[in-house]
Amino acid sequence: MNSIILDGPLGWSQVAAIAVNNASLELTAAAKSRISAANAIVRSLVERHIRAYGVNTGVGALSDTIVPPQQQAALSRNILMSHSVGVGAPLGVSETRAIMVAAVNNYAHGYSGLRLVVVERVVALLNAGCTPVIPRQGSVGYISHMARVGLMLIGHGRAMLNGEHLSAKEALQRIGLDPLILEAKEGLCLVNGTPCATGLACLVLERARRMMDWADAISAMTFETQRAQTGALNLASMALRASPGLTHVTQKLTSMLSGSSILAAAAGRKTQDALSLRSVPHVHGAVRDAWTDVATVVNRELASVTDNPIVSGTPAAPEVHSQAHAVGAAIGLAMDHLGIAMAELGAISERRIDRMVNPLISGLPAFLAQAGGVASGLMIAQYTAVSLVAQNRRLAAPASLDGGVTSGLQEDILCHATPAALKAEEILDNLQKIYAIELLAACQSYDLLGKELAPAPQTSALYQTLRSEIATYADDRPLGDDIAAAECFITQITPDSVLVQMSCA
C-alpha cells in the first residue's frame, strides 16, 4: 500500500488517492509540531480566560454565553452529540475517507488548536480502514457530516470495518484504540471548516477526470460510425481558438481516429456535420477548462485554513480570530460549476446517441435493430438517455444560491457547499449511464456498418474490448442489463489502459 506524507498542504489528487486507493497517510514531524503548537495556544486561552468562540463560549447563537473551564470538555462532547443530526442513507466509504483526509489536512496547518492525539486518532482510523457511518443528508454546510467523525472518536455512533457494520466502540476495540475524552475547542474543531465539502470535491474531480477521458474516447467512436468530416478536427484551424481543453480534445480525437478507412471513404460526403459531432472539441474542451478551474479552487481550499476561530501567536501572547473562514462559498460555487459542466457532457452525448439510432439521419438500420419491425434495437435506450439528461438539468440548478437562515439569525447566509458536491456526484452517476448507452450504440453501429471498411486501430481496440464482454444486441435479453454491464465496464477501466494493451500486443 502506498503512503502519502503530509507536510505541507495535500493536493486534491492525493486526497482522492487515500480515499479511493486506500493509500496510507503519515504526518511529518513538522506537521505534528504545528498541531501541538496550536493546542498550546488554546490551553493558554483557557488559562488566561480570554474569550474565544467555541473554547469558552457557546456556539452559533450562543456565542456570547460564557462557558467556565470545568464545563469546556462537556461543551466539546455536547457539540458532537447535538450536531450529529444527519439523516438518510450513509455516504460511501471513499466519501467518508475523503472527508477525514481533508480534515487532517486542515488541522495540520496549525491554526485549529486540538491536541495531536486527536489528529493522530483520525489518521489511525484511516490507515486501519475503519470509517464512521455518516448519513448523507441534513447539512447546509459541513456540520452534520463532520460531527459523525468526531462522534466515533469518543466511542459513539456506528462504523464500518472490513465491510462489517459495528458500533463505534466495538470497531475501536478491534483496532486497539480507546475512546477519547475531548478537551476545550476539540468538539468545535471536529465539526468546523470546509473539509467535508472539500474532501467530497476531491472525489468529484477524480470521477470527472475519468468521465472526460471516456467522453473523448466514446465520442471518437460515434464520430467515426457517423462518417463525420475530419476537417472539423484540423489542428491548424482549431489552434485559432484559445482553449487548452479544446486543443487537448482535438489532439486526442485526431490520434484516436488516425488510420480510419471509414472516415477516409467519407471525406467530402458533407459540407459539415451536426454540432453534436463537429463541436465535440469545443464542448468537451470547455468542460476540461472548467475542470481545471475547479481543481485550482479545490487545491486552494486545501491550502487554506478553514476554522472559526483560528488561533495564532504564542502561548505567552495568544491570539484568537473570529472570522468566517469556515464558510464554503468557494467550494459551493466550484461544485455547482463542475456539475453544470458534467451535465453538458451528458446533453451532447444524448444528441449523438439520437443521431446513431435515428434512421432519418444515421444511414443505418432503424434504431440499430437487427431486424426492422420485429426488433426495437436501441430505440428505448435513447429514451433512458433523454430522461437522465433531463434529471441532470434539474440537478444542475445551483445549490450555492439556496440560502437559508439558521441558528437564530446568527448564521443568516448559507452556501450549501456539501450539497453542491453531493449533487455533482449524482450528475456523474447519471453521466456514467449516458455514456454506457452511447458506447453500446457506437459498438452496435460498428456491427451494422459491416467489415468492408476498417475503423481506426484505437477505436477498433475499444470496440473489441467491449465486445469481448458484451455481445451485439439482438432483442434477445433485457437491454437494461447491457447498459448496466457497459457502465461497469466504464467504471472499471480507462480508455488509455485499453490502448496501452493494444500497443503492447
Closest CA to 265 of 454, 460, 464, 459: 454
Which residues are known to be catalytic?
A: 53
How far from 387 is each of 145, 212, 384, 394, 446, CA to CA, in Å? 31, 21, 5, 11, 25
Three-state SS sequence of 162-217: CCEEEEHHHHHHHCCCCCCCCCCCHHHHHHCCCHHHHHHHHHHHHHHHHHHHHHHH
Please, are residues 251 and 285 in contact by the beta-carbon 8 Å criterion? no
Q: Could you tell me which residues are beta bridge partners of residue 164? A: 161
What cell numbers appear for 208 in the block? Answer: 470527472
In the three-class reduction of DSSP (H, G, I as helix; E, B as strand; rest coil), residue 267 is classed as coil
User: Left (φ > 0), alpha (ψ -120 to 50) or beta: where does 411 sit?
Assistant: beta
Closest CA to 216 of 281, 119, 169: 281
How far from 372 is each of 375, 376, 379, 449, 472, CA to CA, in Å? 6, 8, 12, 16, 16
In the three-class reduction of DSSP (H, G, I as helix; E, B as strand; rest coil), residue 385 is classed as helix
Any idea how long the chain is?
A: 505
To the nearest 10°, the Cα dihedral for 197, 201, 202, 205? 180
